[in-house]
Amino acid sequence: MEYVTLNNGIKMPKLGYGVYQLSNEECERCVLDAISAGYRSIDTAQSYGNEEAVGNAINKCGVPREELFITTKVWITNGGYEKAKESLEESLRKLQTEYIDLCLIHQPFNDYYGTYRAMEEAYKEGWIRAIGVSNFYPDRLVDLCSFVEVKPAINQVETHIFQQQTAAHEYMEKYGVQHESWGPFAEGRKDFFTNPVLNEIGKKHDKSAAQVALRFLLQSDVVVIPKSTHKERMEENINVFDFALDASDMNAIRALDEKESLFFSHYDPAIAEMMIKLH
């Protein structure tokens, strides 16, 4: 495994395992499979409803806690200082651990400044090792970075071959925030796994389209958290550190960038309404 050093000196695996849309029952098995396949970073969230399952897996896996990197996220309805503080303590209990490695604000809605203050407090108390944000567009990120005490270590945003976030990446670099991808496979949309460019490059390196897509992001200085419920796919996804894409490969994939979300826009009021109603 390769690691990136965050802006506060904490080391984070460049490739982790995401548990979005996994039920509690399925999640525990999947996290145990992922850890046995070599994953050491696990990404969950309050809104996923599976923090307990991640906690169970942490306790059962046999890997020392200090070798694992656990991320969770504060949901919109837990926004604001008091509610966020309570929810963070609840996440800590559910994860059955003495500390959380990384905590993110999940969406840029509600009183996220209050939420961030609660996270800063936990960070200073030492039971959250790094804090950051998720789904913050460059304007929101610049605003937050300009007025908080502890600079966000991470911004986790939709990033894949069709939405490469090059402009957002430049602002993250400018403010010392590590770019992390959610949805590195675009959840299979736009015939992702049969994409001819990815498959052609894959043949050249004896790798799958998925492995090429992950390698592209890693070489673009983006942390990735691919998800699969199948252990053989987990093993395939983590096996991306033994080859490198050359300049022609990288340029061919850069040309696939459509610079638009395949999922949603936070600028769409209907999306904002939908997210705020979710619990």
Active site residues: 48
DSSP codes, the chain: --EEE-TTS-EEESB-EE-TT--HHHHHHHHHHHHHTT--EEE--GGGT-HHHHHHHHHHS-S-GGG-EEEEEE-GGG-SHHHHHHHHHHHHHHHTSS-BSEEEE-SS-SSHHHHHHHHHHHHHHTSBS-EEEES--HHHHHHHHHH-SS--SEEEEE-BTTB--HHHHHHHHHTT-EEEEE-TTGGGGGGGGG-HHHHHHHHHHT--HHHHHHHHHHHTT-EE----SSHHHHHHHH--SS----HHHHHHHHTT---S-SS--TT-HHHHHHHHH--
Residue 106 labeled ligand binder: yes
The binding site comprises 106
Q: Which residues are annotated as a binding site for substrate?
A: 106
